[in-house]
Structure 1
């Protein structure tokens, strides 16, 4: 029995190594396509990226691949649902990333908790200007209307933290469009929509959760997400919500059982 602790420790090490070898999905980029019919008069493709979490001033191979894949998907609109950068020094990497994306395709972005926490007002202004250089738009509780194939698409982008009345005021001023999409880094923003406003939004796109990031064998191990019902994927309701698993990582540079994701939404007549 005196060797039992050593045996248990060895078993834990072996199991941890096996888990990392078989469940490590950090670089296993997935492209997930969804068709939504009966919403528009002509086909419109929206590509969503989220939680890229650029940390340094250079791009890693996965991020370069993400940009290439987005370009190859020939989107009509690109949306980025927050946490694109972690620090002020990450803005240089974002500049390189945006330069790799397709030109003349509008990108609409919102901020996440990392931008809100780590970028002061001066760097937030730099972030907004950086998007603008590429003809893109950073929305902080605002609207942007884009036309694709004759279809007017209204996109509302909200800050990471928004109050019920703020959101209601935004939705009540929605521009006329065939398709209305709400962009919010935090999935729970959908709960803030007043009953009268829900029918005005066709789809809510969010991120934030990384799909749990550590879910070996389908088991959620991150305490804050144990029991959380909106880790990733589609959630029906009025309006429907999609939670993107994101691309990058936080805390540890590893994903277990939760691959990075690019989400494609094909809106069809």
Structure 2
């Protein structure tokens, strides 16, 4: 009997070795494709990056590839149909901004990638992959920002789902200054101002020079009547914003805060 087991082990060893070699080869090819896609995005060759990712995982079964597709789809498209189909372009480094190209709306929307369905299917299959929660948070935040999908949900439900997925992601170490900002913004828009402070402040800790977090947290402190905090953050936003329209927004909020401070002081005067 022992000789038979040894014999079977000898037969099985090459098969196991081949399977391990195949898995290692596939993992290396996947990593190479993702690195190449990153490089193409940095070169603003967004359509080329998309085509590479599509070839790498046509059925959207690899979480890492689906996450990269989500990043490219949400951030670098030049046109979309309900965040289910997308248009991309390869752009020269000095080409117009993506926002201006989206406004023109001339690109053929031909690449299918139903973001929500893909991510939810993968999350069901890989419940412990919290990067998928981060991506779902990004998706729902994008839905609210573009107002171009999920019309049946309503804005409050979109914000609630944004919060749910970002909280899950953050609880498991998957977050950055943008996701914390978006979480704070969702709480803010729901009128849950005190709950918005922690993610806004965390966003600022992670990126002190991100003016949008300073601007929004200034608004929250104003709503909470913490005027000194509000003024400090509004001043920082005014200093940090590089463009006139955003500086004007920060200046307007700062003037509102200072007016409220004066009114409050006058009301307290004997």
Give the TM interval when normalised to the shorter protein: under 0.3
Structure number with the higher strand fraction is 1
Question: Given the two structures, how large is their TM-score scaled by the length of structure 1?
Answer: 0.27
Question: Given the two structures, how large is their TM-score scaled by the length of structure 2?
Answer: 0.27
Larger RCO: 1 or 2 (CA < 8 Å, sep 6+): 1
Structure number with the higher helix fraction is 2
Which structure has the bigger radius of gyration?
2
